Amino acid sequence: MNSKFAGYIGKRLLLAIVTIMLVIAITFFAMHAIPASPFSSEKAKSDAVIKALEAKYGFDKPVIVQFFNYLKNIMKLDFGLSTAWVGSTVFGLIKNGFAYSAKIGLSAALLAIVTGVVLGSWAALRRGKWVDKIIQVGTTALVAMPSFVMATILLLVIGLKLKWLPTLASQPGGLVLPVISLSLYPMAYITRLTRSSMLDVLGQDYIRTARAKGLSNGKVIFKHALKNALSPVITYAGPMMAYILTGSMVVENIFSVPGLGRLFVNSMLRTDYMMIMGVTIFLAIMIIMMNFISDILYKVIDPRIDFS
């Protein structure tokens, strides 16, 4: 069992590393294919810059050598220099932006998980009642709304019309609206997941046994049902991370948060290729690692699943 589990972890880790390598390769060669890519000397203006870049990336060397150079630099967390934000390193910009994005993203994830699990269990326990119906309709509507629609409507209604919350991230409390708009979609999704797996679990024999033993309702729900109902939610952690990170691109733009998503969009608008590459690779690594962690957690929590 234990060696099997270790084998499983090894396999997933290998898959994660292969995927990260593939993302780096796709990013590098795609950028290389652009006529005015950061790896061609056409882009740089002055001789000194060309010399410095050549020394670092070796434009004259074959593409494959340049690729391994780039890879080696990434390992040292050196993603190169930004061309749009002159004088800043790509990694420094990413670090600054990520401080904001991590704060918003983690808050949104936490909010989504807590409210989603509570609402989903509530709906399952009141199956067929009006609470269940309202939650069902609400979540069906929410999963049909793209993040940018959600964020803009919240901005319009709560920020501009009702003036309950500030619309700019720099104002006090300004991060509340971005967090809410990022969390609504995953929250609705988790609610639906929890509801259906909770219904599934509540029909199992061991719940009947627990009730027959005379356990209180609360104990049955929290100790027996909820624990088992949560494993599908864990598998959603990876996709949720991907949603929140990509969603932050629009949400941070709408609410002017100086985070990673906004940085990414701005570097696309200003065609800063080094930035685009750096942020893509950084975000991809975050998403892939999150998928890896949620895969492992899933197996730890639910030992019934075989490791083949």
Partner 1 sequence: MSEETKVKKKAFSFHTNPNMFEKASEEEKAQQVHMRESVSFMRDAMRRLRKNKIAMISLCIIILISLIVFIVPNFYPYNYSEQDLSRQYLDPFEYSETEKARMADGEKIFPHIMGTDALGRDYAIRVIYGARISMLVGLIAAIIVTIIGICYGSLSGYFGGKVDLIMMRIVDVIYSLPDVLIIILLSVVIREWVSTSTSMLVSRLGSGMISIFIVFGLLYWVGMARQVRGQILSLKEQEYVLAARAMGAKSSHVILKHMIPNCISVIIITAAMQIPSAIFTESFLSFLGLGVNMPMPSLGSLAADARMGLQSYPNLLIFPAAMIFLIVLSFNLLGNGLRDAFDPKLRS
Q: Which residue has the tokens 């109902």?
A: 229
The single-letter DSSP state of residue 215 is -
Asked if residue 63 binds partner 1 (CB under 8 A), the reply is no
Long-range Cβ pairs for the range 52-58 (8 Å, 24+): 56/80
Among 5, 8, 9, 30, binds partner 1 (CB under 8 A): 30
Entry field: residues in the chain: 308
**Which phi and psi angles does 204 have, rounded to 5°?**
-75, 160
Asked if residue 71 binds partner 1 (CB under 8 A), the reply is no
As measured in angstroms, the least distance from the Cβ of 268 to partner 1 is: 6
**d(Cα 112, Cα 142) in Å, to the nearest integer?**
13
Among 77, 99, 110, 141, binds partner 1 (CB under 8 A): 141
Span near partner 1 by CB under 8 A; candidates 65-73, 109-117, 225-233, 262-270: 262-270
Q: Are 262 and 252 in contact (CB under 8 A)?
A: yes
- Beta pairing partners, 89: 81
Q: Smaller CB distance to partner 1: residue 199 or 268?
A: 268
By three-state DSSP, how is residue 63 classified? helix
Query: Residue 107: CB partners within 8 Å, gap ≥ 6?
Result: 175, 179, 183
Q: Smaller CB distance to partner 1: residue 226 or 287?
A: 287
Span near partner 1 by CB under 8 A; candidates 30-38, 57-65, 176-184, 193-201: 30-38
- Beta pairing partners, 81: 89
Asked if residue 249 binds partner 1 (CB under 8 A), the reply is yes
Q: Smaller CB distance to partner 1: residue 118 or 174?
A: 174
**d(Cα 183, Cα 243) in Å, to the nearest integer?**
10
As measured in angstroms, the least distance from the Cβ of 247 to partner 1 is: 9
Helix 47-57, helix 63-75: angle, nearest 10: 80
Q: 145-204: which residues touch partner 1 (CB under 8 A)?
A: 145-149, 152-153, 155-156, 160-161
**d(Cα 152, Cα 167) in Å, to the nearest integer?**
10
Among 49, 265, 293, 296, binds partner 1 (CB under 8 A): 265
Number of residues that bind partner 1 (CB under 8 A): 46
Asked if residue 9 binds partner 1 (CB under 8 A), the reply is no
Binding site for partner 1 (CB under 8 A): 15-16, 18-19, 22-23, 26-27, 30-31, 33-36, 140-141, 143-149, 152-153, 155-156, 160-161, 242, 246, 249-250, 254, 264-265, 268-269, 271, 276, 280, 283-284, 287-288, 291
